[in-house]
Amino acid sequence: MRSSDRCLVRPGIIAAGASWGLQWRRLRLGRRCGLAALVFGLLASAAAFAQERLVFDVLRDGETIGSHHFEFEREDEALKVSVETALAVKVAFITVSRYEHKRVERWRNGLLLSLAGMTNDDGEETELSIVLKDKEYTRTVNGRDEQLAAPIGIASLWSKNVLSGGKLLSPEKGEVYRVRADLLGREVIKLGSGEVEAERYRLSGQLSRDLWYGPDGRLVQIRYEHEGSVVEFVRR
């Protein structure tokens, strides 16, 4: 078993952090294996995800409220990941909550080269950019700059390898989160294209969320509670 696999599958020791669309807001792995596992895993994921699209339906208490998309494509030697989320909660045909997010990530050899994104959370707009230069990142949130040491993990969640990255940066707000991730076991998940056996992880701490990943490490499903409702991201 590879060292990166040991970091991922040992219950009770994984830590990661994440921010995700409908949560509307919102990591601790031992330093000895976190960054190594993240880089190793992302290198493998980059090859696997090139020229592909992952589409999720977003449900609130079983009712579809929007969609979430990942689109992967090669640009020279870099992997470009385009992400788009569009959500709207309606009551009696009236939209009472709306969330929109778009971003573009660029990766090379397991390192984030840049990220540029825009978020509109019920009228609250956030513009985020992250650029790698001379082994250091410049993070800009609504015009305010801050320097961050490289490497850095981004809470995209399209690959399970991010769960071993230690600290993760929110791609929506630019904040850093800490949570614990435990491997609960394997389950059969129904998708629009059929069934898949998936590994189920549970995040706790600053973020509570269940995540399912297929045998290839690709994101299959997300589930969590938000303001008394059950929210699910289900891959088509």
Indicate whether 25 pLDDT > 50: no
Instruction: Report the alpha-carbon distance of residue 78 to residue 65 in Å, rounded.
Output: 33
Number of domains into which the chain is organized: 1
Strands (E), the chain: 14-16, 52-60, 63-75, 78-91, 94-108, 111-121, 124-133, 136-141, 144-149, 153-154, 168-169, 176-177, 179-191, 194-205, 209-213, 219-226, 229-235
Share above pLDDT 90 across residues of the chain, in percent, rounded to a whole number: 48
Question: According to the model, what pLDDT value does residue 51 have?
Answer: 52
Residue 215 belongs to domain spanning: 3-235
What confidence tier does 166 reach under pLDDT thresholds 50, 70, 90?
A: low
Judge contact between 116 and 137, C-beta under 8 A. no
Instruction: Report the alpha-carbon distance of residue 210 to residue 230 in Å, rounded.
Output: 11
What confidence tier does 109 reach under pLDDT thresholds 50, 70, 90?
A: confident
Tokens of 104: 């573009």
DSSP annotation of 195 reads E
Q: Pick the range with the lowest mean pLDDT from 21-30, 43-52, 179-188.
A: 21-30
Q: List Cβ neighbours of 194 (8 Å cut-off, separation of 6 or more).
A: none
